[in-house]
Structure 1
Amino acid sequence: MTIKILVAVFIGIFTGFFMFPTDLLNHIDLLINFGLCLLLLFVGIDIGRQKDVFSKIKTMGLKILWVPIMIGIGSILGAMVGGLFLNIPYNEAGAIGAGFGWYSLSAIELSKHSSQLGTLAFVTNISREVIALACIPIVAKYIGKFEAIAPAGATAMDTTLPIISRSTDASVAIVSFITGVMLSSLVPILVPLMMAVNF
């Protein structure tokens, strides 16, 4: 699955660079949204086929909220540690980590402070999504099913949800969706908050 995704990405890059008709670029957002909705529809159908999935989620209870909380803390602290090596102030590095993979919003928000910071946020968070697509099946197989949600961050509810669902099971896919929703909701709060904090 990982190889198929990476091949699709490279074919997309090649097509966009050499062959994509420019008049279709005006409709690319519509095509992406339609494709994503269709993808999530099939994930939902797959989850719905598992009859016992909701009873499993009910059994887990509020403990599932620890998944997004720990991913959020780990993302921010990890970015701060990375910032040490790049001589980036703690608050700026933490703000980049608080993007949780949502590259468009975090980049726009941090571009208000500087274009370099916005660019770094974009590159960092889009890299997170690409790396997540490649490593989720490996993490699910060798480390753990719930741990496979962590690389995805905010994208656990949309672009990386299908690969999480395929690499784990329906109950983990629902936790993944909840995690993605929570982290996405926190991005517009935490990114400006981190920038406002002085260390």
Structure 2
Amino acid sequence: MYSGLLIILVPLILGYLIPVKNRRLLRTVDQLLSWMVYVILFVMGVSLAFLDNLSSNLLMIFEYASIFFVCIFAFNLLALRLLERRKPWKSLHRQEVLTSRWRMALDSLRLCGVVVVGFLLGLTQWHWLTYASEASEAALILLLVIVGIQLGNSSLTLRQIILNRRGVMVATVVCIASLGGGLLAACILGLPLKTGLAMASGYGWYSLSGIVLTDSFGPVIGSAAFFNDLARELCAIMLIPSLVRSSRSSALGLCGATSMDFTLPVLQRSGGIDMVPPAVVHGFLLSLLAPILMALFSS
């Protein structure tokens, strides 16, 4: 658990310590951050094609993943909307004028298309594609270094990044709401409540939840957990640009544990650099809780 957190925090800190004074270079860094989203989604699709036991029990996996996703996502969205209403998240950031709804739909389809292309390529089972997990880790490290560079060259102080009340509040709401959604899904499917709680404890960390729950409950539950958390991340990526205008807490909370890494560039582009500190704190806390709670509910 702690080695995984170090892989996340060390590149972020190193990037933060790199001074960049050249404005043209900073613009290049911003552009590179945008491209990293597509790289990570492509590698995600390739990894999906190599998932064990994908063909067997596919219908049951789809049913479990769908119901858990709907229940957990709905509970999260409702709770985060209530948080935003009780404690509004004010920001001076002005999002760039969004293009038409058709253009936004095409952008979302393009993100999904990148995953599909990666998945189809992964089905070829080419030998060099077996290194997808290593490529994903390398892409993640590069992404975090870039985000760290942006943070270090912004007006934010290290204290603002580490100590962030909004990040803690959103993480607490997401933690409790997700468990509630997991309990409801377990009741609907007739599964043990502990299984539902374990499924809800991934918080979008699909690479961890799939492995942990496969070992504890078998390939059907493990694969369903993987798809549930993967769907959460993909939906968050597509909904962030619109949600950030009406409910910044929802835009952050729906990302789950991925707000510290994979969905961080989308949050930063849509909500501004002041969105990054709560996203890092929020993702950090959920990344700490996920393996602990999954281990607890799987025992």
TM-score normalised to the size of structure 2? 0.57
**Structure 2 contact 164–281 (Cα < 8 Å) conserved:** no
Separation in 2, partners of 1:118, 1:23:
25
**Structure 1 contact 146–172 (Cα < 8 Å) conserved:** no
Counterpart of 1:10 in structure 2 is 113
Q: Which moved more, 1:152-161 or 1:21-30?
A: 21-30
Cα deviation for residue 168 of structure 1 reads: 0.9
**Structure 1 contact 40–162 (Cα < 8 Å) conserved:** no
Cα displacement string for residues 162-181 of structure 1 (whole angstroms, at most 9, x for unaligned residues): 10111112232111111111
Separation in 2, partners of 1:61, 1:179:
9
Q: Which of 145, 152, 156 is matched with 2:255 structurally? A: 152
Matched positions, count: 193
Identity of aligned residues (%): 28
Counterpart of 1:168 in structure 2 is 271
Cα pair distance change 1:15/1:72, threshold 3 Å: closer
Cα deviation for residue 61 of structure 1 reads: 5.1
Aligned ranges 1:178-189 → 2 under 5 Å: 178-189=281-292
Residue 238 of structure 2 is aligned to residue 134 of structure 1: yes
Cα pair distance change 1:61/1:129, threshold 3 Å: closer
Aligned ranges 1:52-63 → 2 under 5 Å: 53-54=156-157, 57=160, 62=165
Cα deviation for residue 140 of structure 1 reads: 0.7
**Structure 1 contact 2–133 (Cα < 8 Å) conserved:** no
Residue 37 of structure 1 aligns with an amino acid whose one-letter code is I
Separation in 1, partners of 2:229, 2:238:
15
Q: Secondary structure of 1:88's match?
A: coil
Separation in 2, partners of 1:168, 1:71:
19
Aligned ranges 1:66-105 → 2 under 5 Å: 66-105=169-208
- Computed over aligned residues only, the root mean square deviation of the Cα atoms, in angstroms, reads 2.6
Cα pair distance change 1:24/1:114, threshold 3 Å: closer
Separation in 2, partners of 1:87, 1:80:
10
Counterpart of 1:48 in structure 2 is 152
Gaps of 5+ in 2: 1-103
Q: Secondary structure of 2:217's match?
A: coil
Return structure 1 stretches of 4+ with deviation > 6 angstroms: none
Cα displacement string for residues 119-157 of structure 1 (whole angstroms, at most 9, x for unaligned residues): 221111111111111112221122x22331111111111
- Give the greater-gyration-radius structure (CA): 2
**Structure 2 contact 257–282 (Cα < 8 Å) conserved:** yes
Greater RCO structure (CA 8 Å; 6+ sep): 2
Counterpart of 1:25 in structure 2 is 129
Residue 139 of structure 2 aligns with an amino acid whose one-letter code is G
Q: Secondary structure of 1:36's match?
A: helix
TM-score normalised to the size of structure 1? 0.83
**Structure 1 contact 57–171 (Cα < 8 Å) conserved:** no
Cα pair distance change 1:9/1:194, threshold 3 Å: same
Cα deviation for residue 118 of structure 1 reads: 1.2
